[in-house]
Amino acid sequence: MAPQSPVLVVVIPLIFAFLTFAFGWWRKDLCYPIALVAVSISFLASLHTIYTVITTGTIHYYLGNWEPPWGIEYVVDHLNAFVLVIVSFISLVVAISSKRTVEQELPEKVVYFYCIFLLQVTGFLGIVVTGDMFNLYVFLEIASLAGYALIAIGEDGAPFASFNYLIFGTIGACFYLLGVGYLYIVTGSLNMADLSQILPHLYHSKVVLVAFAFFLVGVSLKMALFPLHVWLPDAYTYAPSAVSSLLAPLMTKVGAYVMIRLMFTVFKPHFSIELIPATTILGWMAAGAILFGAVLALAQIDLKRMLAYILVSEVGYIALGVGLANRNGLTGAILHILNDSFMMLALFLVVGAIMYRSGNREIPQLRYLHRKMPFTMAVLVIAGLSVIGIPPTCGFFSKWYLILGAIDASCWVFVVVLLVSSLLNVVLFFRVIENVYLEPGEEHAGRGSELVIANEEAPLSLLVPILIAGAGIMLFGILSGKIISVVIQFAVPQYFVTL
C-alpha cells in the first residue's frame, strides 16, 4: 500500500478548517487548540513524507486510485518534501504564536481567523504536494483567496491594500490558467510528469512559447518578483501580525517553488535555458529586485514596511539562483527557500511582539527595547545578521552558494549585486540595531536620573516561537552542509548535476 502521508498533509487542515468553524459557534476558545492540533498532525505527516522520500525515493499517490494521466496525482520528490516540511513547520510555529496577537488585534474574529488560517495552510501545502497542473491552479486560488481575506481584516488601510493584491493576484492566477489551457490544447494532458514527456517534441511550437510566457508572468506576480511586486509592501504592512508572519515567509517561497517546478520539471532545462533565454531574463529581473528592494527598504521609517521591502529583495535572491541555472546557483536558491522562510518568520514575529507590547513599530520609537524585551531583540539581531550574511547564521550559506553560482556562470555583475546588497543590508539593520541598543547620552537623557524600565518581555506563547525561529537560523547555518547532502543535492534537477 502506498503511504498515505502526502494526502493527509493536505486533507487534515482542510477538514479541521470546517471543524474550527463548527466548534467556534459553540465555544470560541476551542478554535486555537483545534487549529494547533490540525497543523501539528499536518507537520508530523510531512515529516513522515520526507522520511519516506529520503529512504525510498519519490512517492506517487493516486487520488481515488485513478491512474495518472487521467486522475489527479500527488508526486512528492526531494524538492517537494523539503518545501513541504518548511511550510508545515512554519505554519505550526505561527499557529502557536498567533494566540495573543489575535486576541488583541482581532477579538471579534477569532473563529473566522482560525478557519481561514487553516484554509490558507491547506492552499500552501496543496500547491507544494500536487503533480497536476490544474489542481495546482485550484490550490493557488485557495491560498490566494484565503490570503486576501486574512489581509483585509488588518488595521486601517488593510482592505484597500488587500483589494490591490486581489487585482494583481487574480491577473496572476488567470495567466496561469491560460497557460494551462494553451498546454492542454497542444498536449491533451494536465499531468506534470506526462507533460514533461510530451512537450519536448513541441518545443518549437508558438503555442508552447505563449504558455510558458503566461506561466512565467503569472507565477512572478504571485511570488512578487520585481517589477511585479507592487502589491506586496502595502499588503504585508497592514495585515494583522499573525497573518504577515504566516504569509511573508510562505507565499513568496511557495511561488518560487512553483517557478522552479515549471521551469525545470514541466519544461526541461534545455528549453528554459537554451531554446529561449528565460533564465537570463529572470536573472536580470532578480538582480533588479535585489537592489530595488534594498534601496527602497532604506527609505522606510515603518519597521514592518522595511521588512516587506527586504522580502522583495530576498525573493530576488531565490529568482537569481534559478536564473543562474547551474548547480551551485540552484543549490543556493533551494537553500535560500529554507533560510529566508526562517529569517522572515523571525523578523515578522519580532515585529508582532513589538506591536503587541508597544503598539508602535516606527524605527525611531524602538529605544530602550533591549531592556524591555531582551530575548526578542536578541533574535532580531540574529535574524538581521543572517539577512546581511554573517557566517554562523544560515543567510551566509545560501549567499555563498549564490555567489559561487554567479562565478560559475561568469556573471560578474551578479556577484557585485550580491555583495552590494549585503552592504545595503548592513546599513538597514544597523540603523534598526542602533535605535534599539544605543541609548541617548547623559545630556540628552533629561534630568540626569536613571531611567527605570520595566521588563516587558513578550508573553510566552509569543516568545517561544520567536526563540524557535532564532534557534532555527543558527542551527540551519551550522547544519547547512548536512541539509545539502541529505536533501538538496537530490532536489536539484538531474540536468544540472551531470553538467
Partner 1 sequence: MLDFILSKYNYWIYIILMMIGFYAMIGKKNLVKKIIGINIFQTAIILFFISTAAKSGGTLPIIEHGQGHGAHAIEAASYVNPLPHVLMLTAIVVMVSTLGVALAIVIAIYRRYNSLEEDEILEKRKWPRNLLF
Return the range that interacts with partner 1 (CB under 8 A); candidates 167-175, 267-275, 383-391, 418-426: 167-175
Return the range that interacts with partner 1 (CB under 8 A); candidates 6-14, 177-185, 336-344, 378-386: 177-185
- Binding residue for partner 1, selected from 14, 177, 319, 394, defined by CB under 8 A: 177
Q: How far is the CB of 118 from partner 1 (least distance, A)?
A: 16
Residue 210 binding partner 1, by CB under 8 A: no
Q: How far is the CB of 289 from partner 1 (least distance, A)?
A: 16
Q: Binding pattern to partner 1, positions 320-359, x when CB under 8 A?
A: ----------------------------------------
| Closer of 160 and 412 to partner 1 (Cβ) | 160
Q: Binding pattern to partner 1, positions 257-296, x when CB under 8 A?
A: ---------------------------------------x
Please report, as residue ranges, which positions from 184 to 203 form the binding site for partner 1 (by CB under 8 A): 184-185
Q: How many of the chain's residues bind partner 1 (CB under 8 A)?
A: 32
Residue 69 binding partner 1, by CB under 8 A: no
Residue 181 binding partner 1, by CB under 8 A: yes
How far, in Å, CA of 172 to CA of 424, rounded? 30
Q: Binding pattern to partner 1, positions 127-166, x when CB under 8 A?
A: -------x--xx--x---x--xx--x---xx-xx-xx--x
- Report the interface residues with partner 1, using CB under 8 A: 134, 137-138, 141, 145, 148-149, 152, 156-157, 159-160, 162-163, 166-167, 170-171, 173-174, 177-178, 181, 184-185, 238, 296, 299-302, 305
